């Protein structure tokens, strides 16, 4: 990947706790104002990967640790509550297992571009902070990428064998969107928006200069680009339970996704779609450049956040 593109995306990070490690997998957790749920979810994920709790969070004595090395990356999308304080404290407490990055503005796509963009792991994965997807599917998501069987792996709530619990409204919107995606955009995958995905890092670096969207359409854009390149996308059925407290604006997100589908169709039908996408991605980055890019002013001097040290530990500590 062009070093310039990696630098531009990691420049969105305005604070860090911890450094990227040469692990097998980075599990990125994008968060925005998740002070109530963050520590519980990170502890549960870490404990599961360490083999001290099962997929439901119950403590077990005979669990088996993940057979790959890993690091959890908390990507804070400019939270206005104490999320960053909690994330940085977790990173300081478990420096070998958790790192945290603070990004200057909201956007799941921006969070993943930034965190994956500086990753040193073989595989870059992400999960929603509510852990809606059953953790027992982690091996099915990661191992095909480490073995070279696939380039990308995604959880699919629409495959046979999936167990889903969500409202009728969200079920209708999800199925309608993915139907449009298959008919209008010729997608050969079934569920673009499940928050449970992984990609080989080198493949992501190849796509990064081409990805325009910084929000929810990021997932769809990445998958369509990968499909057009002929890469292997592995879909896995999942157990998925809707987070009733989600702050995602369903209809606003759906409208933006439809606009993204139209944009992608125009580019994919052009004679040189990669060049057009790359130019548009460059233009997007320039119009959204940080006003302090290139400044000698330390970003830490531009504002302070109150550190909360009273957040309770929910589960037993996971092992290093």
Per-residue pLDDT for the chain (320 aa), expressed as one digit of tens each? 555 555 666 779 999 999 999 999 999 999 999 999 999 999 999 999 999 999 988 999 888 999 999 999 999 999 999 999 999 999 999 999 999 999 999 999 999 999 999 999 999 999 999 999 999 999 999 999 999 999 999 999 999 999 999 888 888 888 898 898 999 999 999 999 999 999 999 999 999 999 999 999 999 999 999 999 999 999 999 999 987 666 566 777 778 888 899 888 887 877 776 776 776 666 666 555 554 444 333 434 434 433 333 333 334 455 54
Tokens of 7: 């630098």
Burial (CB count <10 Å: 0-12, 13-18, 19+), residue 73: buried
Separation between Cα atoms, residue 48 and residue 90, nearest integer Å: 16
Separation between Cα atoms, residue 311 and residue 314, nearest integer Å: 9
Task: Say which CATH superfamily domain 13-276 falls into.
Answer: Spore Coat Polysaccharide Biosynthesis Protein SpsA; Chain A (3.90.550.10)
CA dist 75 → 20, 233, 317 (Å)? 13, 25, 21
Q: What is the pTM of this model?
A: 0.84
The residue with tokens 């956007």 is 107
DSSP 8-state secondary structure symbol assigned to residue 185? S
Separation between Cα atoms, residue 170 and residue 189, nearest integer Å: 19
Number of other CB atoms surrounding residue 188 within 10 Å: 12
pLDDT value of residue 136: 96
CA dist 1 → 214, 216, 221, 225 (Å)? 19, 23, 18, 15
CA dist 33 → 30, 87, 106, 128, 256 (Å)? 10, 11, 10, 13, 22
Q: Which long-range contacts (CB under 8 A, 24 or more apart) does 53-58 make?
A: 53/315, 53/316, 55/134, 55/135, 55/136, 57/315
Chain-centre distance for alpha carbon 71: 14
Separation between Cα atoms, residue 64 and residue 61, nearest integer Å: 9
pLDDT value of residue 38: 98
DSSP 8-state secondary structure symbol assigned to residue 23? -
First to last CA, the chain: 32
DSSP 8-state secondary structure symbol assigned to residue 306? P
pLDDT value of residue 270: 74
């Amino acid at each position: 990947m062009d070093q310039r593109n990696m630098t531009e995306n990691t420049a969105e990070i305005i604070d860090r706790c911890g450094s990227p490690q040469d692990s097998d997998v980075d599990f990125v957790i994008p968060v925005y104002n998740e002070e109530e749920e963050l520590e519980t979810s990170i502890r549960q994920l870490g404990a599961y990967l360490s083999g001290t709790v099962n997929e439901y969070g119950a403590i077990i004595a005979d669990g088996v640790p993940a057979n790959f090395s890993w690091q959890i990356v908390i990507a804070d999308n400019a939270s206005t509550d104490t999320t960053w304080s909690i994330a940085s404290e977790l990173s300081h407490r478990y420096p070998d297992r958790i790192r945290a990055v603070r990004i200057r503005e909201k956007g799941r796509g921006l969070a993943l571009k930034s965190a994956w963009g500086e990753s040193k792991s073989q595989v870059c994965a992400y999960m929603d902070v509510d852990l809606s997807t059953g953790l027992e599917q982690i091996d099915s998501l990661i191992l095909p990428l480490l073995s070279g069987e696939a380039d990308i792996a995604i959880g699919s709530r629409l495959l046979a064998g999936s167990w889903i619990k969500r409202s009728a409204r969200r079920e209708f919107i999800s199925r309608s969107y993915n139907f449009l995606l298959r008919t209008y955009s010729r997608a050969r995958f079934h569920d673009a928006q499940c928050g449970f995905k992984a990609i080989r890092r080198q493949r992501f670096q190849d796509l990064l200069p081409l990805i325009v969207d910084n929000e929810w359409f990021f997932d769809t854009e990445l998958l369509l680009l990968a499909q057009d390149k002929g890469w292997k996308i592995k879909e896995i059925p999942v157990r998925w339970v809707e987070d009733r407290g989600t702050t995602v604006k369903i209809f606003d997100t759906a409208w933006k996704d439809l606009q993204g589908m139209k944009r992608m169709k125009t580019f994919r039908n052009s004679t040189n779609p990669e060049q057009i996408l790359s130019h548009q991605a460059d233009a997007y980055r320039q119009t959204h450049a940080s006003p302090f890019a290139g400044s000698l002013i330390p970003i830490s001097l531009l504002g302070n956040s109150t550190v909360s040290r009273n957040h309770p530990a929910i589960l037993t500590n996971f092992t290093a």
